[in-house]
């Protein structure tokens, strides 16, 4: 079993939709959680960084962490074609960072 | 956050040759890492570049194949040696600013194709 599981998609939604991206993990040592966005031919860009269980909001993006279920989510409201990218979850535990495989998102105009 | 520049951005190389990838950061950083990313796959950590000492390699990666230098707190190089088509991939440099469990920041990568 992988330490971090992320559905690779692709996920295709119409413009304006609410997008939900998810990851599950198995290692309780993970205490810090990130979401990265990666456009084609670019490196991953940090979107959200959170520690505690609960929600963290930044503009149209909301990161949600449920440590009891070992489950994290990224919600994108009012999705735009410019949100089309690959989204990677990542987790830090014991000074080790593990990345999910990434979910490809397509937002259709 | 730190600005990370990688060179070259892409290259096409012949089998058996070597290529050195450079990673330059606009500020001093505590940790630097090198990753490989195959199309549609997750990031695979090659090694942690340690300033002033040998890099720490992950399982499956060896110094003879992927020698790494880190002469100071703002610069590192990764060499891909004796390349084969299986080395065709995207190579990414990342850094951590500060100490503790901080997130990594990435350069835009080097797209390497081996003929």
Chain A residues lying within 8 Å of B109, measured CB to CB: 41-43
Best CA proximity match to B2, nearest among B23, B20, B16, B17: B23
Measured between CA atoms, the residue of chain B closest to residue A49 is B103
pLDDT, tens digit, 9 for 90 and up, residues A13-39: 999 999 999 999 999 889 999 999 999
Mean per-residue pLDDT, A43-47 = 96
Contact check, Cβ <8 Å, B106/A92: no
Instruction: Please tell me the predicted confidence (pLDDT) of residue B75.
Output: 96
Q: Please report the DSSP string for B24-77 in residue order.
A: EESS--SEEEEEEE-TTS-EEEEEEE-TTS--EEPTT--TTTS-EEEEETTEEE
Which whole-number Å values give the CA distances from A20 to A25, A66, A72, B22, B105, in the listed order? 17, 15, 10, 36, 24
Cβ of B101 within 8 Å of Cβ of A34? The answer is no
Contact B114, B83 (CB under 8 A): yes
B51-87 pLDDT, tens digit per residue, is 888 899 999 999 999 999 999 999 999 999 999 999 9
Q: Which CA distances in Å does A89 have to A11, A60, A92, B3, B73? A: 15, 17, 11, 21, 27
Which residues in A lie closer than 8 A to residue B101 (C-beta atoms)?
Answer: 31-32, 92, 95
Yes or no: say if B32 and B48 are a contact pair by the CB < 8 Å rule. Answer: yes
> B41: which chain A residues are within 8 Å (Cβ-Cβ)?
101
Q: For all residues of chain A together, what is the average pLDDT?
A: 94
């Amino acid at each position: 079993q992988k330490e971090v599981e992320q559905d690779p998609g692709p996920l295709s939604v119409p413009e304006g939709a609410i997008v939900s991206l998810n990851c599950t993990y198995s290692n309780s040592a993970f205490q810090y959680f990130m979401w990265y966005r990666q456009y084609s031919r670019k490196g991953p860009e940090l979107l959200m960084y959170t520690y505690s269980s609960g929600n963290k909001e930044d503009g149209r993006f909301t990161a949600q962490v449920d440590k009891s279920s070992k489950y994290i989510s990224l919600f994108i409201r009012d999705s735009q074609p410019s949100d089309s990218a690959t989204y990677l979850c990542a987790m830090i535990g014991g000074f080790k960072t593990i990345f999910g495989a990434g979910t490809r998102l397509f937002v259709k105009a | 956050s730190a600005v990370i520049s990688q060179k070259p951005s892409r290259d096409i190389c012949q089998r058996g040759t070597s290529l050195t990838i450079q990673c330059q950061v606009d500020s001093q950083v505590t940790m630097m890492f090198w990753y490989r990313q195959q199309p549609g796959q997750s990031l695979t950590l090659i090694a942690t570049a340690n300033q002033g000492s040998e890099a720490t390699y992950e399982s499956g990666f060896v110094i003879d194949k992927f020698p790494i230098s880190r002469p100071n707190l703002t610069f590192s190089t990764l060499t891909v040696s004796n390349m084969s088509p299986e080395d065709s991939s995207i190579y990414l440099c990342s850094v951590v600013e500060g100490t503790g469990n901080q997130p990594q920041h990435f350069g835009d990568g080097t797209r390497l194709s081996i003929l």
